Chains A and B, each alone.
Chain A
Amino acid sequence: MKCIAFIQTKDGQATKASLEAAGFAASMGEAVAVVSGELNGDGGLGAVGVGRVLQGEAHLDDGQLARLVSAAAEKEGASTVVSAQDHLGKAVAGRVAVRLGAGLIAGVTAAPSGEGFTRNVFSGKATARIVGNTDKLVITTTPNAIGMPESAGGTASVEAFSTDLGDRKVEILEAAAPSTGGRAPLPEAELVVSAGRGLKGPENWGIIEDLADAVGATTACSRPVSDIGWRPHHEHVGQTGIAIRPNLYIAIGISGAIQHLAGVNGSKVIVVINKDPEAPFFKAADYGIVGDAFDVVPKLTEAFQAL
């Protein structure tokens, strides 16, 4: 069976989320990658089991990318298209599914096994096994859920690929600087340090930033904290913010309301620091410290720095 993997690149290398998607495709069958724009060598794709890369032109909008990927799937006779469920994947995968008449299984969280695929539903409060009704399928993989494939050590061949892409309809006026200050974007972050109303005010975030720096983590916050403007909206995690699944989530001064947990319950390890031993978050935690954040966090930062 042939699988198309839609790959996004940064500085010519496939992104981590895209490598996970490519590895997923390779575990389902013969994986052929599709990229738009410049590639550095094979972009790291051979190592995760991709044999060939089809390289399309650069600077395409969502509609054009969907045409590129769908045309590649048709040319290769692929029955499955895989993409990461990231910013661009959310804009493109649905379009590809419509073009191919394929069912879409979005945000898969486990490696393929047996019939059907596992994904999260109800904001991580449950999982569901989904089966396709169509011959072809489009699958998107949740970043940092399936894990990086073992390196196969291969090299993929790169060939130019072109098709009728139609006109670009989205004009980019400005691409602002990264909002996360050089750290991994939240949906893909492996390490996250997050704080809530227990911090009392925006002026106290220095200790959170320091800890995040020492850990090498991306910062996040609870909803009220972003609603009152202590922190930017893009840091808001939870059921109505961003859903994350880092390897480590450190929650400081956050009570652990059900809507907050819904966005972070996919974390592999949860650490809670709260002065109230009855805070509901402790029930969802793996490790905890009962104590005052203003006292504990600087000491924890020192302990990380000492590593």
Chain B
Amino acid sequence: MDFLVCISKAPDTTTRIAFTEGDTRFNEEGVQFIVNPYDEWYALVRALELVEAQGGKVVIAAVGGADCDPILRKALAIGAHEAVRIDAAPEDAMQVAAELAAYAQGQSFDAILCGKETIDHNSSAVPAMIAEHLDVPCIALCTSLDYDGDKAIMTRETANGIEKVAVAGTFVLSAAKGMGEQRIPNMRGIMAARTKPLQVVPASGAAAGTRIEKFALPPEKAGVKLVDADNPAELVRLLREEAKVI
């Protein structure tokens, strides 16, 4: 089995969010970047587990500039075999998906694994877009992936609970919690990652469908109103009469 895992660079989860240039750009100063958690913890790890059990390889791909190389090396240290960076400044999901699809088109991956969303853009859009470009199914919000012969068996979260599905042939999935167990890279992995191939390929020049006009921070909370622990009925009254939420 050969898997393509799409890896996005994301600001560390503890990052204090700030903007520059008249609130039109994310202020990256002092920000620590990580592999987007869903891509690393679930998509990448599950691909590695399957390859360890059945053979094949895991290729990781990111759309981005040289600033993505450290996170690609991190994913190589966890165990991915090869990395590809598609050299473009990512502006939106449409552009990113078109670039990833253009790369995947020329290869023969059994499956393309994405995270369920990036923790900076939170759009959950790229996986379905890749799938449409390639005319293959997209299993969104996937919580497990196994194989029964040539058939991929997956569970996914739906509005009504959990669904078990089967797909024959290539597909795209977006990984949610449950797909794999987080792995910490060890020294050997980190050393090995240095010499693993990281190929930079030119972008196809796909256009973005949207642009960010302005960022804003949410308004601060007014402050907490404390209620005495012996009088929870007062809390119920406030929720009802003041906040009007029940």
Interface of A toward B, CB cutoff 8 Å: 8, 10, 15, 61-63, 66, 85-88, 90-95, 97-99, 102-107, 116, 120-134, 169-180, 185, 188, 191, 215, 226, 233-234, 236, 239-241, 243, 247-248, 258-259, 262, 265, 268-269, 271-272, 282-292, 295-296, 299-300, 302-304, 306-307
Contacts and interface: CB of A to CB of B under 8 A. Distances in A.
Contact of A290 (B133, B229, B232): B229
Interface in B170-191: 171, 174, 177-178
B127 interface: yes
A107 B122 CA distance: 8
A268 to B, nearest CB: 6
Interface of B: 11, 13-15, 17, 19, 26, 37-38, 41, 92-94, 97, 116, 119-129, 131-133, 135-141, 143, 153, 156-169, 171, 174, 177-178, 207-218, 221-222, 224-230, 232-233, 235-236, 238-240, 243, 245-246
12 contacts: A87-B141, A88-B140, A97-B125, A103-B92, A127-B217, A133-B208, A171-B166, A176-B161, A180-B161, A240-B13, A240-B177, A286-B224
Given A133-B210, A287-B225, A62 B137 contact: yes
A85 B129 CA distance: 15
Given A240-B13, A240-B177, A174 B243 contact: no
Given A94-B93, A131-B213, 10 more contacts: A88-B158, A90-B128, A94-B127, A95-B138, A97-B125, A102-B209, A134-B210, A269-B239, A285-B224, A288-B227
Contacts of B221: 283-286
A168 to B, nearest CB: 9
A103 B158 contact: no
Contact of B14 (A87, A124, A258, A291): A258
Interchain residue pairs A-B with the least CB separation, the first 8: A103-B209, A291-B229, A94-B128, A95-B132, A300-B232, A91-B140, A98-B132, A106-B123
Contact of A121 (B210, B215, B229): B215
A104 B125 contact: yes
A11 to B, nearest CB: 11
Nearest to A62: B138
Residue of A125, A176, A185, A262 with highest tally of chain B CB at under 10 A: A125
**Chain A interface mostly helix, strand, loop or mixed?**
mixed
Contacts of B233: 303, 306
Contacts of A103: 92, 94, 208-210
Q: Which of A94, A98, A268 has the most CB of B within 10 A?
A: A94
A259 B14 contact: yes
B238 A105 contact: no
A120 B122 contact: yes
A210 to B, nearest CB: 13
Contacts of B139: 91, 170
Contacts of B210: 103-105, 130-134
Contacts of A132: 209-210
Contact of A98 (B120, B133, B246): B133
Nearest to A104: B125
A278 B122 CA distance: 31
Contacts of B15: 122
A64 to B, nearest CB: 10
A126 B119 contact: no
Contacts of A173: 153, 164-166
A178 B158 CA distance: 9
A215 B214 contact: no
Given A103-B92, A133-B208, A303-B232, A288 B11 contact: no
A173 B153 CA distance: 9
Contacts of B171: 169
Nearest to B238: A287
Among A66, A92, A169, A285, the most chain B Cβ lie within 10 Å of the Cβ of A169
Given A62-B131, A88-B158, A236-B177, A289 B232 contact: yes
B238 A85 contact: no
Given A104-B94, A239-B13, A133 B211 contact: yes
A131 B211 contact: yes
A277 B135 CA distance: 55
B97 A98 contact: yes
Contacts of A290: 226, 229
B136 A259 contact: no
Contact of B125 (A94, A123, A131): A94
B124 A122 contact: no
B159 A15 contact: yes
A286 B225 contact: yes
A231 to B, nearest CB: 12
A104 B4 CA distance: 24
B209 A170 contact: no
A91 B128 contact: yes
A296 B232 contact: yes
Contact of B236 (A120, A283, A303): A303
